[in-house]
Amino acid sequence: MKHLVIHDPTLRDGQHAVRHQLGPAALRRYAEAADAARIPVVEVGHGNGLGASSLQVGLAAASDDEMLATVREALRHSRMATFMLPGWGTSGDLRRAIAHGADVVRIGVHATETSLAERHLGFLRDAGAEAHCVLMMSHMATPEVLAEQAAQAVGYGAQAVGIMDSAGHFLPPDVTARIGAIAEAVGTVPVIFHGHNNLGMAVANSVAAADAGAGIIDGCARGFGAGAGNTQLEALVPVLERSGFTTGIDLYALLDAADLAERELMPAPPVTTSMSIVSGLAGVFSGFRHRVAELSTAAGVDPRDVFFELGRRQAIAGQEDLIVDVVAALSGSRTDG
């Protein structure tokens, strides 16, 4: 039986679902529960990572320093991880995270822009932290391109590398092809898979990733995350165990942690809504959904059409201004018709 490392970003990715308002008390309680379940890695931070708390993407209820210190103190067995996007965070943020005891640091980049991670991966390698690189919006690149980008990240110092299905667009064969290509390209370096549940496929895709050679699989309690949410951790672990993998996680304690998360972290667990399905089919980050709904309603256009057009234009997070252009174009077409 192959052992998998489960990486739990509930306290980072889940922040998107509550506008980054998880405070120290909530962070501590979930971290203690995750630690009791022996979840190997617990990730914490602003939803967009180190240095991202801002009016533009949301002011967090606690500073990076406070979040890291709180979770570090709560963990006795689990390792602590954090996340950074180049352009938001800096080497100074990485230095402070390591000083707070971050064991694992992930650098996220667009699927074809690994070069943006070079400096940060090198810094982490020299600082002695475990450096990961995750390729976001990975449905926008072929398996061959992702394999090249992953190998490049390893050359920069990444000690694990993999993909995020940021739009929840994949089906299992898509995951198999991409994880298989990356695993072949990077040899013994662990491969990461991070799923989203827009099409209800996150657990199935995670199993496909494990079967294809991934060694690190992500999941969040109750799927806590933006839009339709992430892979549901307390379902993922027993499914992986039944599929012939070991995780070392205590099932009852994991279920207790999930119950606590639903009770104390979120107003309600994420659900796969009509807009989540459309964003997944279109391959568009589901974090666009509120802005799409707002502008579409004002202009009298169908938000589903907006998502599919954004998908055709290969919109990515950070290009929210493109929604205005798409809504205007569709509104003009409707008026002309």
Mind telling me the catalytic residues? Answer: 16
Task: State residue 53 phi and psi, 5-degree precision.
Answer: -60, 115
The dihedral sign for the CA sequence 289, 291, 296, 297? positive
Distance CA 308, CA 301 (A): 13
Q: What is the CA radius of gyration of the chain?
A: 19
The candidate with the shortest Cα–Cα distance to 42, out of 61, 63, 67, is 67
Distance CA 221, CA 269 (A): 9
State the Cα angle at 324 between 21 and 225, rounded to 5°: 30
Distance CA 314, CA 14 (A): 25
Tell me which residue has tokens 């499914």.
239
The dihedral sign for the CA sequence 60, 104, 230, 146? positive
Distance CA 249, CA 36 (A): 9
Distance CA 306, CA 171 (A): 23
Q: In 8-33, which positions are buried (b, 16+ CB within 10 angstroms) versus exposed (e)? A: bbbbbbbbbbbebebebebbbbbbbb
Task: State residue 217 phi and psi, 5-degree precision.
Answer: -120, 135
Task: State residue 267 phi and psi, 5-degree precision.
Answer: -65, -35
Name the token pair of 191: 């491969």
The candidate with the shortest Cα–Cα distance to 147, out of 174, 123, 117, 112, is 112
- Contact (Cβ atoms closer than 8 angstroms) between residue 265 and residue 30: yes
